[in-house]
Amino acid sequence: MRLRNITGSREVITGSRFVVQEEEYRPGGWHEIFGNDHPLHVEVGMGKGKFLHAMAKLHPEVNFVGVEKYSSVLLRAIQKMEEEELKNLKFVRLDAEELTRVFGPGEVDRLYLNFSDPWPKDRHAKRRLPSKEFLARYDVILKKDGRLEFKTDNRGLFDFALEELPLAGWKADYVTYDLHGDEKLSEGNVMTEYEEKFSAKGNPICKYQIYR
Ligand code: SAM
Protein backbone atom coordinates (compact mmCIF):
# COMPACT_ATOMS: atom_id res chain seq x y z
CA MET A 1 0.00 0.00 0.00
CA ARG A 2 2.83 2.42 0.75
CA LEU A 3 3.89 3.03 -2.88
CA ARG A 4 5.90 5.90 -1.46
CA ASN A 5 8.13 6.71 -4.37
CA ILE A 6 5.99 7.13 -7.43
CA THR A 7 7.80 9.80 -9.44
CA GLY A 8 5.84 13.01 -9.81
CA SER A 9 3.01 12.07 -7.44
CA ARG A 10 3.43 15.31 -5.45
CA GLU A 11 3.20 17.36 -8.65
CA VAL A 12 0.04 15.53 -9.74
CA ILE A 13 -1.52 16.16 -6.33
CA THR A 14 -0.71 19.87 -6.21
CA GLY A 15 -2.18 20.24 -9.70
CA SER A 16 -5.31 18.16 -9.11
CA ARG A 17 -8.74 19.79 -8.90
CA PHE A 18 -9.91 16.83 -6.80
CA VAL A 19 -7.47 17.74 -4.02
CA VAL A 20 -8.09 20.68 -1.70
CA GLN A 21 -4.67 22.35 -1.47
CA GLU A 22 -3.08 23.85 1.64
CA GLU A 23 -3.75 27.44 0.54
CA GLU A 24 -7.44 26.57 0.15
CA TYR A 25 -7.86 25.20 3.69
CA ARG A 26 -10.72 27.02 5.36
CA PRO A 27 -11.80 25.15 8.51
CA GLY A 28 -15.56 25.56 8.86
CA GLY A 29 -15.88 26.41 5.13
CA TRP A 30 -16.42 23.03 3.48
CA HIS A 31 -19.98 23.94 2.43
CA GLU A 32 -18.39 26.68 0.27
CA ILE A 33 -15.92 24.25 -1.28
CA PHE A 34 -18.75 21.88 -2.23
CA GLY A 35 -21.20 24.71 -2.97
CA ASN A 36 -23.99 23.21 -0.85
CA ASP A 37 -24.99 22.50 2.76
CA HIS A 38 -25.01 18.73 2.57
CA PRO A 39 -23.67 16.69 5.49
CA LEU A 40 -19.91 16.14 5.59
CA HIS A 41 -18.43 12.63 5.99
CA VAL A 42 -14.66 12.10 6.29
CA GLU A 43 -12.51 8.98 6.00
CA VAL A 44 -9.19 9.28 7.81
CA GLY A 45 -6.47 7.10 6.25
CA MET A 46 -8.38 6.64 3.01
CA GLY A 47 -5.71 4.75 1.08
CA LYS A 48 -6.59 4.48 -2.62
CA GLY A 49 -10.12 5.72 -1.95
CA LYS A 50 -12.14 2.70 -3.08
CA PHE A 51 -14.58 2.91 -0.15
CA LEU A 52 -15.14 6.66 -0.44
CA HIS A 53 -15.61 6.57 -4.21
CA ALA A 54 -18.30 3.90 -3.81
CA MET A 55 -19.92 5.75 -0.89
CA ALA A 56 -19.96 9.07 -2.78
CA LYS A 57 -21.60 7.38 -5.75
CA LEU A 58 -24.23 5.75 -3.54
CA HIS A 59 -24.94 8.91 -1.53
CA PRO A 60 -24.95 12.01 -3.73
CA GLU A 61 -26.74 13.89 -0.92
CA VAL A 62 -23.60 13.65 1.27
CA ASN A 63 -20.23 15.40 0.78
CA PHE A 64 -17.23 13.11 1.32
CA VAL A 65 -13.61 14.01 2.05
CA GLY A 66 -10.75 11.52 2.06
CA VAL A 67 -7.70 12.28 4.20
CA GLU A 68 -4.50 10.46 3.27
CA LYS A 69 -0.95 11.02 4.43
CA TYR A 70 0.97 9.64 1.45
CA SER A 71 1.03 11.23 -2.01
CA SER A 72 1.75 7.99 -3.80
CA VAL A 73 -1.40 6.37 -2.37
CA LEU A 74 -3.57 9.46 -2.89
CA LEU A 75 -2.48 9.41 -6.52
CA ARG A 76 -4.51 6.21 -7.02
CA ALA A 77 -7.63 7.89 -5.66
CA ILE A 78 -7.09 10.80 -8.07
CA GLN A 79 -6.71 8.39 -11.00
CA LYS A 80 -10.03 6.79 -10.07
CA MET A 81 -11.71 10.22 -10.04
CA GLU A 82 -10.23 10.96 -13.47
CA GLU A 83 -11.92 7.80 -14.74
CA GLU A 84 -15.19 8.63 -13.00
CA GLU A 85 -15.57 12.12 -11.56
CA LEU A 86 -17.90 12.66 -8.61
CA LYS A 87 -18.89 16.17 -7.53
CA ASN A 88 -19.37 15.21 -3.87
CA LEU A 89 -15.88 13.79 -3.24
CA LYS A 90 -12.66 15.68 -2.44
CA PHE A 91 -9.27 14.67 -1.09
CA VAL A 92 -6.75 16.21 1.29
CA ARG A 93 -3.13 15.11 1.63
CA LEU A 94 -2.60 15.46 5.33
CA ASP A 95 -1.28 13.73 8.42
CA ALA A 96 -4.37 13.11 10.58
CA GLU A 97 -2.52 14.78 13.48
CA GLU A 98 -3.37 18.03 11.69
CA LEU A 99 -7.08 17.47 11.12
CA THR A 100 -8.03 20.66 12.95
CA ARG A 101 -6.13 22.73 10.34
CA VAL A 102 -8.62 21.54 7.75
CA PHE A 103 -11.94 20.96 9.55
CA GLY A 104 -13.65 23.43 11.88
CA PRO A 105 -15.07 22.64 15.33
CA GLY A 106 -18.14 20.42 14.95
CA GLU A 107 -18.03 20.62 11.14
CA VAL A 108 -17.98 16.88 10.39
CA ASP A 109 -21.14 14.76 10.61
CA ARG A 110 -19.49 11.35 10.37
CA LEU A 111 -15.96 9.93 10.53
CA TYR A 112 -14.72 6.64 9.11
CA LEU A 113 -11.58 4.75 10.09
CA ASN A 114 -11.06 1.69 7.92
CA PHE A 115 -8.29 -0.84 8.45
CA SER A 116 -6.05 1.68 10.16
CA ASP A 117 -2.36 0.80 10.48
CA PRO A 118 -1.91 -1.29 13.67
CA TRP A 119 1.44 0.15 14.87
CA PRO A 120 2.05 -3.03 16.94
CA LYS A 121 4.80 -1.67 19.22
CA ASP A 122 3.48 -0.24 22.51
CA ARG A 123 5.62 2.86 22.17
CA HIS A 124 3.79 3.69 18.93
CA ALA A 125 0.28 3.38 20.43
CA LYS A 126 -0.30 7.14 20.04
CA ARG A 127 0.05 6.79 16.26
CA ARG A 128 -2.89 4.37 16.02
CA LEU A 129 -5.82 6.24 14.49
CA PRO A 130 -8.36 4.88 17.05
CA SER A 131 -6.13 5.86 20.04
CA LYS A 132 -7.37 8.23 22.75
CA GLU A 133 -5.01 10.90 21.39
CA PHE A 134 -6.72 10.75 17.99
CA LEU A 135 -10.18 10.46 19.58
CA ALA A 136 -9.46 13.84 21.21
CA ARG A 137 -8.78 15.32 17.74
CA TYR A 138 -11.97 13.78 16.33
CA ASP A 139 -13.84 15.20 19.32
CA VAL A 140 -13.02 18.72 18.10
CA ILE A 141 -14.13 18.35 14.47
CA LEU A 142 -17.10 15.99 14.88
CA LYS A 143 -20.61 17.38 15.48
CA LYS A 144 -21.98 16.92 18.98
CA ASP A 145 -24.27 14.05 17.95
CA GLY A 146 -21.90 12.83 15.19
CA ARG A 147 -20.77 9.24 14.86
CA LEU A 148 -17.44 7.55 14.16
CA GLU A 149 -17.28 4.12 12.51
CA PHE A 150 -14.21 1.88 12.66
CA LYS A 151 -13.65 -1.39 10.78
CA THR A 152 -10.66 -3.71 10.96
CA ASP A 153 -9.77 -7.39 10.77
CA ASN A 154 -7.00 -6.86 13.33
CA ARG A 155 -8.41 -8.17 16.64
CA GLY A 156 -5.53 -6.77 18.69
CA LEU A 157 -6.05 -3.28 17.29
CA PHE A 158 -9.82 -3.57 17.76
CA ASP A 159 -9.47 -4.63 21.42
CA PHE A 160 -7.09 -1.69 21.95
CA ALA A 161 -9.61 0.66 20.28
CA LEU A 162 -12.39 -0.56 22.59
CA GLU A 163 -10.19 -0.03 25.68
CA GLU A 164 -9.48 3.55 24.60
CA LEU A 165 -13.18 4.53 24.43
CA PRO A 166 -13.89 5.11 28.16
CA LEU A 167 -10.49 6.82 28.58
CA ALA A 168 -11.49 9.39 25.96
CA GLY A 169 -15.17 9.70 27.01
CA TRP A 170 -16.71 7.86 24.03
CA LYS A 171 -19.44 5.17 24.05
CA ALA A 172 -20.42 2.51 21.54
CA ASP A 173 -23.76 2.31 19.73
CA TYR A 174 -22.76 -1.20 18.70
CA VAL A 175 -19.77 -3.51 18.55
CA THR A 176 -19.41 -6.59 16.35
CA TYR A 177 -16.56 -9.05 15.91
CA ASP A 178 -18.10 -10.46 12.73
CA LEU A 179 -19.64 -7.73 10.62
CA HIS A 180 -20.24 -9.88 7.56
CA GLY A 181 -21.97 -12.53 9.70
CA ASP A 182 -24.36 -9.96 11.19
CA GLU A 183 -27.34 -9.63 8.88
CA LYS A 184 -28.54 -6.32 10.31
CA LEU A 185 -25.20 -4.51 10.65
CA SER A 186 -23.88 -5.67 7.29
CA GLU A 187 -26.92 -4.30 5.45
CA GLY A 188 -25.65 -1.61 3.06
CA ASN A 189 -22.03 -2.25 4.08
CA VAL A 190 -19.59 -0.90 1.50
CA MET A 191 -16.34 -2.87 1.48
CA THR A 192 -12.99 -1.10 1.55
CA GLU A 193 -9.98 -2.33 -0.43
CA TYR A 194 -8.49 -3.95 2.68
CA GLU A 195 -11.83 -5.37 3.75
CA GLU A 196 -12.13 -7.20 0.42
CA LYS A 197 -8.59 -8.49 0.70
CA PHE A 198 -8.80 -9.76 4.27
CA SER A 199 -12.37 -11.06 4.25
CA ALA A 200 -11.47 -13.08 1.13
CA LYS A 201 -8.82 -14.78 3.29
CA GLY A 202 -11.54 -15.71 5.78
CA ASN A 203 -10.69 -13.07 8.42
CA PRO A 204 -13.75 -11.86 10.35
CA ILE A 205 -14.25 -8.09 10.25
CA CYS A 206 -14.68 -6.18 13.52
CA LYS A 207 -16.64 -2.93 13.60
CA TYR A 208 -17.83 -0.38 16.11
CA GLN A 209 -19.87 2.80 15.84
CA ILE A 210 -19.18 5.30 18.59
CA TYR A 211 -20.38 8.66 19.94
CA ARG A 212 -19.76 10.86 22.97
N1 SAM B 1 -8.85 2.73 4.47
C2 SAM B 1 -8.26 1.97 3.38
C3 SAM B 1 -8.87 0.59 3.30
O4 SAM B 1 -9.56 0.19 4.26
O5 SAM B 1 -8.69 -0.08 2.29
C6 SAM B 1 -6.73 1.92 3.51
C7 SAM B 1 -6.19 1.17 4.68
S8 SAM B 1 -4.40 1.28 4.80
C9 SAM B 1 -3.97 -0.09 5.79
C10 SAM B 1 -4.18 2.62 5.96
C11 SAM B 1 -4.01 3.97 5.27
O12 SAM B 1 -3.99 4.97 6.27
C13 SAM B 1 -2.72 4.10 4.48
O14 SAM B 1 -2.98 4.57 3.18
C15 SAM B 1 -1.92 5.11 5.29
O16 SAM B 1 -1.04 5.89 4.50
C17 SAM B 1 -3.01 5.94 5.94
N18 SAM B 1 -2.59 6.61 7.18
C19 SAM B 1 -1.93 6.03 8.22
N20 SAM B 1 -1.68 6.95 9.18
C21 SAM B 1 -2.20 8.12 8.73
C22 SAM B 1 -2.24 9.44 9.26
N23 SAM B 1 -1.69 9.73 10.45
N24 SAM B 1 -2.84 10.39 8.55
C25 SAM B 1 -3.39 10.12 7.34
N26 SAM B 1 -3.37 8.90 6.77
C27 SAM B 1 -2.78 7.91 7.45
**CATH code, 77:** 3.40.50.150
d(CA 58, CA 38) in angstroms, rounded, equals: 14
d(CA 70, CA 1) in angstroms, rounded, equals: 10
What would the mean pLDDT of 20-42 be, rounded to a whole number?
97
Query: Is there an atom of ligand 1 within 6 Å of 45 CB?
Result: yes
Choose the weakest-confidence range: 8-12, 47-51, 164-168: 8-12
Give nearest CA residue, ligand 1 atom 13. 47
> Strand, coil or helix: what is 132?
helix
HSE-up (13 A, CA, CB side) for residue 18: 24
Radius of gyration over every alpha carbon of the chain, rounded to an integer in angstroms: 16
If you measure from the C-alpha of residue 116 to the centroid of ligand 1, how many angstroms do you get, rounded to a whole number?
6
Mean pLDDT of the chain: 96
If you measure from the C-alpha of residue 44 to the centroid of ligand 1, how many angstroms do you get, rounded to a whole number?
7
109 is catalytic: no
Query: Is there an atom of ligand 1 within 6 Å of 103 CB?
Result: no
Query: Is there an atom of ligand 1 within 6 Å of 73 CB?
Result: yes
C-alpha closest to that of 205 among 150, 158, 153, 148: 153
Q: Evaluate if residue 4 carries a pLDDT over 80.
A: no
| Phi-psi region at 28: left, alpha or beta (left = phi > 0; alpha = psi -120 to 50) | left
Query: Is there an atom of ligand 1 within 6 Å of 49 CB?
Result: no
d(CA 70, CA 54) in angstroms, rounded, equals: 21
Tell me the backbone φ, ψ of residue 29, rounded to 5 degrees.
-115, 25
Strand order in the sheet with 89-93: 89-93, 63-68, 40-44, 108-114, 142-152, 206-211, 171-176
In this structure, are residues 46 and 113 in contact, taking their beta carbons and an 8 Å threshold? no
- Please enumerate in sequence order all residues whose Cβ is within 8 A of that of 8, keeping only pairs 6 or more positions apart, or say none: none
C-alpha closest to that of 51 among 91, 93, 97: 91
Catalytic residue among 117, 139, 153, 173: 117
Structural domain including 158 reads: 3-211
Atom of ligand 1 nearest to the CA of 67: 25
The number of folded domains in the chain is 1
Dump pLDDT digits (tens) for 62-95: 999 999 999 999 999 999 999 999 999 999 999 9
Percent of the chain at pLDDT above 90?
A: 95
Dump pLDDT digits (tens) for 99-131: 999 999 999 999 999 999 999 999 999 999 999
